[in-house]
Chains A and B, each alone.
Chain A
Amino acid sequence: MPDRAPDPRTDPRPLLRRLTLLAVVACVGAAFAQATPTTDAAPPRWLAAQIGPSATLDDPRTLTTTSEDEILAFTDRPDRLHDHLTLATFASLWADGFPADTGPPNAVLTWTAPDGGVAEAFVIVADATVVDADVPTIRYTLAEPLDAPVTGPYSLFFTVVAEGCDTRLVCREATR
């Protein structure tokens, strides 16, 4: 009996081939989707320490600091990295905003007290702006009023202000 061409209306093979191809593609896609992690590693977390010759409270919520031109940023463990940020870059962290689930950073301000000792105060730094002045100056907005005779040389220690490594914060090992 001579071969006869299958009736395309009843032959299941073309449909099965398409379904086979579809299934294989789906399987491969699913396998790759599961096998390929999708997000980057958790980045280093950067703390910051600012020092300078003068910190003053303009009002209970406004802290103006003259500063070194750079601010030291360093990671918490397990990373042991540090880098410096310019004042403008540092202030831009507030302009960029902080994660909604953390909000702005906490900080501790220490300064030389009138009695010759060192005073300290806890603050929440809601905003930061570089003031156009002859000396590098940042004006901070505090989330809560601070009632303290802040004056003179100071250090200002910030909790995490940034995560990750980029052109602002370069992840090079700390020089020890």
Chain B
Amino acid sequence: MNHAHPRVRTVGRSVARPAVLAFAALAFAVLVPTVAHAQSTASPVDVATFAAAAEGRILFVRHALATGDDDPTRFDLTDCATQRNLDPRGRVQANALGAALRTAGVTPDRVLASEYCRARDTARLLGLGPVTTFSGLNRTFGATRSFGLDRLAETIDHVGADETVVMVTHSDTIRAWTGVDVPSGGMLAFDPATRTAQAVLPRDPAAAAIREVVPWLYVHAGGRVALEDPRTLVATFDRDVFGFTEAPYRRHETLDAEAYVGRWDGGPESFGADPPNAVLTWFGDDVHERWVVLTDAERTTTDDGRPAIRYALADPLDGAPSGRFSLFVDYYGMAGAGGMSGMYGMQPMGGMSAMQGTSGTAGANGNAGGGGSSGGDGASGGGFYGMGGMGSMSGMYGGGGMSGMYGGGGMSGMYGMEPMTGMSSPGYGMDPMGGDGGTSDMYDMYEMYR
């Protein structure tokens, strides 16, 4: 593939030469961000459809949800602690995304990730195979931009016709290559032969968790707690564990012992793989508390036959817990962890519950496609990725009103906008001929994600 950058010919000496060079450089700096290699954008497909025709294609995956908006000023590529990293929802999102891809039968020959920790972590959590870091997928800004894109071009050029490559990277890199904006955890298939970019949606039920990524916290309370040894805590299981979400969600449900203990099993995001922090409090004559890390949990019974949970602690506990207790456990975010059904789902007409989106305005602003009136009332908020009112934002999942991938009223232009132009193109839920109607079919989106 020819990764053509503007080039400046130098012909002899001229008084105008420095100015020409300078203006060319300026033009380069300004115009390069618009360079894209996708010649067209096809309608989105679900992962199963992509899997059926994955050979010879590249699946760009934007890293999952991460903290903050940008890397810190003290950013160091070799030190994750200085970077913007996956947040709890992002880790669950990446895990669920991988489950969707695996369930659909996506078996990539290679999984490449940028050198940024959030991309590497996303790639690892996808669980699609060994991850190779590749600097050509790093963010594309500043002086290294051209170099990075050249390296990416070279790699894409060598993707075989029978090969499927997953590339976990960043929004600006995907945008620079395809001209398409992708939200965190979003996927875009790219066909080097046809230069066609195509959104890939996690339709498989296994991916339902992708929209259910709010952390749930747990409280295990009961009548008796004791140490078997300094690293082993036995706490009676007198009734189901109490789970509740983080704000802004206000949900709570209970979890039985089997499901609760199961959180320590299975999968890279399990409590077993990433032990939760917790605070144990117990009530005697006084109330005591200790901060602990719970590395394992199993069902057991006490000497007098009461059901209980045996916890393994990362470190010896300082104290002698006894009597009534409550144990406050750090988040767990997988779908079904506490009955999250419907919580983040699309509402057929009203948009989804707001998570980060600003409320109210997204629906009203769904006219990026040229003045449409889609979107219902938008009263439920801008959606998971929502940024109500960002009419100038463009891209695959965006569009006027920028309600985002999963939600919000005003979904006009959801998959259709061409970057930099603000013009809609045919896309999912859009009038395929003109992209001018703002006629997003919210119900279809709801069906897609159900």
Rounded to whole angstroms, the CA-CA distance of A35 and B77 in the bound complex is 13
Report yes or no: B244 in contact with A40, Cβ–Cβ below 8 A: no
Does chain B have a CB within 8 A of A1? no
Does chain A have a CB within 8 A of B281? yes
Chain A residue numbers with a CB within 8 Å of B73 are 36-40
Does chain B have a CB within 8 A of A96? no
Chain A residue numbers with a CB within 8 Å of B15 are 12-13, 16
Does chain B have a CB within 8 A of A170? no
Secondary structure of the A contact surface, majority rule: mixed
Report yes or no: A41 in contact with B68, Cβ–Cβ below 8 A: yes
Chain A residue numbers with a CB within 8 Å of B18 are 16-17, 20
Report yes or no: B277 in contact with A39, Cβ–Cβ below 8 A: no
Binds B, one of A56-64, A114-122, A131-139: A114-122
Chain A residue numbers with a CB within 8 Å of B286 are 53, 153
Rounded to whole angstroms, the CA-CA distance of A27 and B8 in the bound complex is 16
Q: A20-B22, A77-B277 are in contact. Are A38 and B293 (CB under 8 A)?
A: no
Does chain A have a CB within 8 A of B215? yes
Does chain A have a CB within 8 A of B320? no
Does chain B have a CB within 8 A of A75? yes
Report yes or no: B250 in contact with A47, Cβ–Cβ below 8 A: no
Rounded to whole angstroms, the CA-CA distance of A20 and B325 in the bound complex is 73
Chain B residue numbers with a CB within 8 Å of A122 are 242, 244, 250, 252
Report yes or no: A154 in contact with B287, Cβ–Cβ below 8 A: yes
Does chain B have a CB within 8 A of A19? yes
Chain B residue numbers with a CB within 8 Å of A47 are 217, 328, 330
Can you report 8 A-B residue pairs in the complex whose CB atoms are below 8 A from each other?
A: A12-B16, A49-B289, A68-B287, A102-B246, A117-B238, A124-B250, A157-B328, A159-B217
Rounded to whole angstroms, the CA-CA distance of A43 and B143 in the bound complex is 28
Report yes or no: A82 in contact with B291, Cβ–Cβ below 8 A: yes
Does chain A have a CB within 8 A of B145? yes
Rounded to whole angstroms, the CA-CA distance of A31 and B72 in the bound complex is 17
Rounded to whole angstroms, the CA-CA distance of A75 and B277 in the bound complex is 8
Rounded to whole angstroms, the CA-CA distance of A129 and B357 in the bound complex is 30
CB-contact partner of B291 in A74, A116, A117, A159, under 8 A: A74
Does chain A have a CB within 8 A of B358? yes
Nearest residue, chain A, Cβ from B288: A51
Interchain nearest-CB distance for B442 vs A (Å): 22
Q: A19-B23, A102-B247 are in contact. Are A112 and B324 (CB under 8 A)?
A: yes
Report yes or no: A31 in contact with B142, Cβ–Cβ below 8 A: yes
Rounded to whole angstroms, the CA-CA distance of A23 and B330 in the bound complex is 53
Does chain A have a CB within 8 A of B219? yes
Does chain B have a CB within 8 A of A93? no
Q: A37-B73, A51-B281, A74-B279 are in contact. Are A110 and B221 (CB under 8 A)?
A: yes
Report yes or no: B70 in contact with A118, Cβ–Cβ below 8 A: no
CB-contact partner of A35 in B66, B141, B245, B315, under 8 A: B141
Report yes or no: A118 in contact with B23, Cβ–Cβ below 8 A: no
Contact string, B52-91, partner A, CB cutoff 8 A, digits 1/0?
A: 0000000000000011111111110000011111011000
Does chain A have a CB within 8 A of B363? no
Chain B interface size, as a band, is 35 or more
Interchain nearest-CB distance for A109 vs B (Å): 9
Does chain A have a CB within 8 A of B11? no
Does chain A have a CB within 8 A of B283? yes
Report yes or no: A108 in contact with B219, Cβ–Cβ below 8 A: yes
Please report B residues at the A interface, Cβ cutoff 8 Å. 15-16, 18-19, 22-23, 25-26, 29-30, 66-75, 81-85, 87-88, 141-143, 145, 215, 217, 219, 221-223, 238, 242, 244-250, 252, 274, 276-277, 279, 281, 283, 286-289, 291, 293, 314-315, 324-326, 328, 330-331, 354-358
Chain A residue numbers with a CB within 8 Å of B142 are 31-32, 34-36
Rounded to whole angstroms, the CA-CA distance of A121 and B443 in the bound complex is 36
CB-contact partner of B84 in A13, A41, A78, A101, under 8 A: A41
Report yes or no: B221 in contact with A106, Cβ–Cβ below 8 A: no
Contact string, A12-31, partner B, CB cutoff 8 A, digits 1/0?
A: 11001101100110110011
Does chain B have a CB within 8 A of A176? yes
Report yes or no: A117 in contact with B217, Cβ–Cβ below 8 A: no
CB-contact partner of A23 in B26, B82, B247, under 8 A: B26
Report yes or no: B314 in contact with A39, Cβ–Cβ below 8 A: no
Chain B residue numbers with a CB within 8 Å of A98 are 247
Rounded to whole angstroms, the CA-CA distance of A76 and B288 in the bound complex is 21
Chain B residue numbers with a CB within 8 Å of A174 are 291
5 A-B pairs with the lowest CB-CB distances in the bound complex, closest first = A42-B67, A35-B142, A23-B22, A42-B68, A41-B72
Does chain B have a CB within 8 A of A169? no
Report yes or no: A40 in contact with B68, Cβ–Cβ below 8 A: yes
Q: A26-B26, A176-B315 are in contact. Are A106 and B67 (CB under 8 A)?
A: no
| Beyond A72-B291, A100-B358, A106-B245, 11 additional pairs, beta carbon < 8 A | A20-B19, A36-B142, A37-B70, A41-B71, A41-B82, A52-B287, A76-B331, A77-B276, A106-B246, A124-B247, A155-B287
Report yes or no: A74 in contact with B75, Cβ–Cβ below 8 A: no
Report yes or no: B143 in contact with A35, Cβ–Cβ below 8 A: yes
